């Protein structure tokens, strides 16, 4: 069983959108794919991101058909905030997250794990999202935005991943302020990262190379 962690430079960047495309893409190549949303905040009744991921997964993996959205999460909280802040009762435990991780891993060949917010979002006071990637011994796909400021966000996230020796690839989700991307951000990426790619253009190439 392999684990691919889908993270981002921050919130509302496109993790769920990218993960949905990955579910479809891997399944088309015969991979029995599963999904895991360890923590979701801002939940009123049903975790919305987890529901979207599960619906897509159930179409391609029969072992997920009987599960509910909450059953592909370890924790859900009502407050739309970082997990540490949303967890007002301080109930989060790493072993509970790992227990759920192992349960879902047993139902698939590739588990796609979607993080919450950016890499340094606190889960506990001394345990961040990036530490969860390390805990899972996962490879990482870093999704970055196209809005103004994305270069800084991308480089800082790369530095954090390298500091923890986490293997990663990265891509741009051309969504926010994409009409300005070609002039305010793309020139730098072209110069420094000539093989950079976007969710919209090369996700299938990434999937194929991941499976090699």
Catalytic (active-site) positions: 37
Tell me if 50 sits within 8 A of 116, measured CB to CB. Answer: no
Q: What distance lies between CA 92 and its chain's CA centroid?
A: 19
The conformation of residue 62, written as its DSSP 8-state character, comes to G
Taking CA atoms, 98 is separated from 36, 65, 74, 78, 175, in Å, by 11, 22, 9, 22, 33
Taking CA atoms, 157 is separated from 2, 24, 141, in Å, by 23, 27, 11
Q: DSSP 3-state assignment of 144?
A: strand
- Is the alpha carbon torsion for 83, 84, 87, 90 positive or negative? positive
Closest CA to 93 of 47, 128, 124: 124
DSSP-H helix ranges across the chain: 15-28, 48-58, 83-86, 94-105, 129-136, 150-163, 178-184, 186-192, 199-210
């Amino acid at each position: 069983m392999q684990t691919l962690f889908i993270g981002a430079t921050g919130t509302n960047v496109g993790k769920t959108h990218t993960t949905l495309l990955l579910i479809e893409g891997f399944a088309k190549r015969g991979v029995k794919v599963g999904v895991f949303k360890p923590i979701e905040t801002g939940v009123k009744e049903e975790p919305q991101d987890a529901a979207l991921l599960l619906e897509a997964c159930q179409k391609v993996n029969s072992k997920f058909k009987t599960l509910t959205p909450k059953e592909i999460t370890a924790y859900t909280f009502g407050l739309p905030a970082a997990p540490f802040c949303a967890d007002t009762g301080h109930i989060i435990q790493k072993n509970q997250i790992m227990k759920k991780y192992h349960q879902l891993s047993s139902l698939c060949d590739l588990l796609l794990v979607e993080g919450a917010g950016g890499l340094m979002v606190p889960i506990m006071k001394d345990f961040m999202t990036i530490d969860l990637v390390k805990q899972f011994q996962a490879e990482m796909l870093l999704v970055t935005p196209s809005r103004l400021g994305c270069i800084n966000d991308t480089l800082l996230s790369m530095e954090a991943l390298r500091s923890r020796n986490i293997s990663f690839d990265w891509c741009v989700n051309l969504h926010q302020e994409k009409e300005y991307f070609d002039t305010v951000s793309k020139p730098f990426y072209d110069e420094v990262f000539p093989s950079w790619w976007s969710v919209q253009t090369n996700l299938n190439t990434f999937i194929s190379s991941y499976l090699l």
